[in-house]
Amino acid sequence: MARSQDFLPLHSRSGNLSLSHYARLLTSRRNLVKAVAAIAFITIFMFLTRSSPKDSNSVLPDPAISPDEITNPPIVKPTWSKDSLGTDILNRQSIFTPQMFTPDQLKHNGLKPVTAVLLGWKRFESLKFIIQYLTRYPFIKEIIIWNNNVETRLNIMDFDLDVSKSMHVEIKVFNSYENLHDTAKYTTCSMATYDYCYFQDDDWLNLYMDSMYTNFMRYPDLIHSNTMPIIHLEHKRWQFTNTEINMHSGFTWLGCGSFAPRWKIQNFLAQLGSAGLGKDRLRLADMYFSIWTNQYPWQLSNPLSPLDQNEGWSDSVDQWSIVYQNVYDAASRLYSALEANAVLTRNDYFMRDEEEPKFEDRDVRAPCHNDKCLFITSMEPFPNPDIVQFDNVNITHVKDQEAAFNALEFPSNDFWDKHAYHKAVDGDSTTCWNTYKAPMVGDNVGIRLVRKLKANTFTITLSKESKFLEQALAISAIGVANEEWIPCQSQLTHSNHNNQLTFNFNCPSTEAGIKGIRASFTKDLSEPIDICGFLLDDFAV
């Protein structure tokens, strides 16, 4: 992909060019240049919103401010209001209840309480909305707000919380006397009461709290993050693997909603301490964290919902090159440490073992639009990350790494724009995910449910006439007892739509309900196919 600096609207910010504007541009995709500019803009925007607009590239220390100098001005006039969100968003509720997260219940039900870490900067209205929103999700038992803005002091009272609805969550506010930038996320999480942190910035809303939490609960030691499809595609090239030295790493932003274990954050602070990064780099800690876990993050792909997109901007520095430089620096330092020592050392704190599930065993790809299920498939359109081997001698720039992936069968932006994972579960059967490669025996596609369901029929909607698939699929399900896929007996039934396949199914030991269902290919197909939606009895996505 050509990604010239020329495309970046870095120096021409007009007040009404919001990120949602660019997000819409991405989905409408009128021409490539605009799309490229939009992708770059979004990536950079996401970077910028994680650091001070004025001096993120400055190596000068922040001026010291004493507590007395803070005059506590009134909160800045809101430029954004939650009224701009749809009623579906405003009314979303968790399927989890506060009772499930009492200490007594937690001893038995295996659920994990989480501390949400939020940074305050200048978008007070959206921060307030996010705090109110998070209180609807009872697994968030603690919210810590670290206010990086030295010109504004925040108080819990400012957030207008409904006491009756937020009693189950403890909220703490820290007003910093210095802008700690990204680093504050990690120092704040290290203080959390609970073993897991949830991160979110104030420029996007994560509409998929329950479904993300459900997948996080399966593998709580991995980073589980959330991003828009085009950034997901980008990050698939920002994976750094060297099988000889146990390097199996990838980049993700945390700010659009991510779960991570607190021990990894504490380990990261130890890594930062021993790496001796300069202050300017410490502020950009977000570029290092996921890469230094030396694990591929588990990233879900979906269209994000924008909140206030103001006040995160800088036009004074070349942000795109800073992202590239620091992502490369992170990967290069990881490579050097792993190459120098085959085992974990006190001086580097980099994990050597690859955590389960390995990339080839991951199934969950995107949350369903209603946050009640997750789209699963074994068919990733992207090349396996270990096909591109990284070292810091032959590869001297992230662009080299991207070029190596692009030289493989890498999906185009245009393909992904039309056929990203979430199109199979977006509630619209006219938009479709495409397998990209022809499905082979054993490949599968289906959904995992947030809450168990009893059902007897499973329908797959395709984009065209589906007769050729009638003898090519086998159904299996997971029950509530364990994670095992159980083969089901199934029979095709007549459907009124010739692009739908409906199975009557019956799976042993799933009387209590199923947690997931999938169709596996029993024949090699000759071409990729479109999957446009699923129906489980009357549960439709």
Ligand X SMILES: *[C@@H]1O[C@H](CO)[C@@H](O)[C@H](O)[C@H]1NC(C)=O
Residues of this chain that interact with ligand X (CB under 6 A) are: 391, 393-394
Question: Smaller CB distance to ligand X: residue 394 or 526?
Answer: 394
Coil, helix or strand at residue 82? helix
Using the minimum distance from each CB to ligand X, give the nearer residue, 355 or 391: 391
CB of 242 to ligand X, least distance (A): 8
3-class DSSP assignment, residue 224? strand
Beta strands in 148-297 (DSSP E): 170-175, 196-200, 204-205, 224-227, 239-242, 247-250, 258-261
Q: How far is the CB of 328 from ligand X (least distance, A)?
A: 15
Q: Measured from the CB atom, is 280 or 391 closer to ligand X?
A: 391
Q: CA nearest 48: which of 311, 249, 227?
A: 311
Q: Which is nearer to ligand X, 394 or 496 (CB)?
A: 394
For residues 6 and 320, the answer to whether their CB atoms sit within 8 Å is: no
What's the min distance (Å) between Cβ of 210 and ligand X? Answer: 44
Q: How far is the CB of 403 from ligand X (least distance, A)?
A: 14
Q: Which is nearer to ligand X, 2 or 393 (CB)?
A: 393
Those residues whose C-beta lies under 8 Å from the C-beta of residue 26, and which sit 6 or more positions away, are: 35, 38, 39, 42, 228, 230, 417
- What is the closest distance, in whole angstroms, from the C-beta atom of residue 391 to ligand X in the complex? 4
Radius of gyration of the chain (CA): 23
Residue 355, φ and ψ in degrees, nearest 5: -80, 155
Q: Which is nearer to ligand X, 347 or 396 (by Cβ)?
A: 396
Closest to ligand X by CB, 341 vs 504, is 341
Please report how close the Cβ of residue 1 comes to ligand X at its closest, in angstroms. 24
127, 80 contact by CB (below 8 A): no
Between residues 343 and 393, which has the closer beta carbon with respect to ligand X? 393
Sign of CA dihedral 350, 360, 421, 131: negative
Least distance to ligand X from the beta carbon of 244, Å? 8
Contact 439, 379 (CB under 8 A): yes
Least Cβ distance, residue 398 to ligand X (angstroms): 17
CA distance linking residue 6 with residue 1, whole number of Å: 14
Write down the least CB distance from residue 358 to ligand X, Å: 23
Tokens linked to 45: 């925007």
CB atoms within 10 A of CB 340: 11
SS3 content of the chain, % helix, strand, coil (to 5): 35, 20, 45
394 vs 471, beta carbon nearer ligand X: 394
Grouping H, G, I as helix, E, B as strand and the rest as coil, residue 535 is strand
Q: 482: exposed, middle or buried (C-beta count within 10 Å: 0-12, 13-18, 19+)?
A: exposed
Provide, rounded to whole angstroms, the least separation between the CB of residue 412 and ligand X.
27
Q: Which is nearer to ligand X, 244 or 353 (CB)?
A: 244
Query: What is the torsion angle, in degrees rounded to the nearest 10, for the CA atoms of residue 206, residue 103, residue 190 and residue 53?
Result: 30
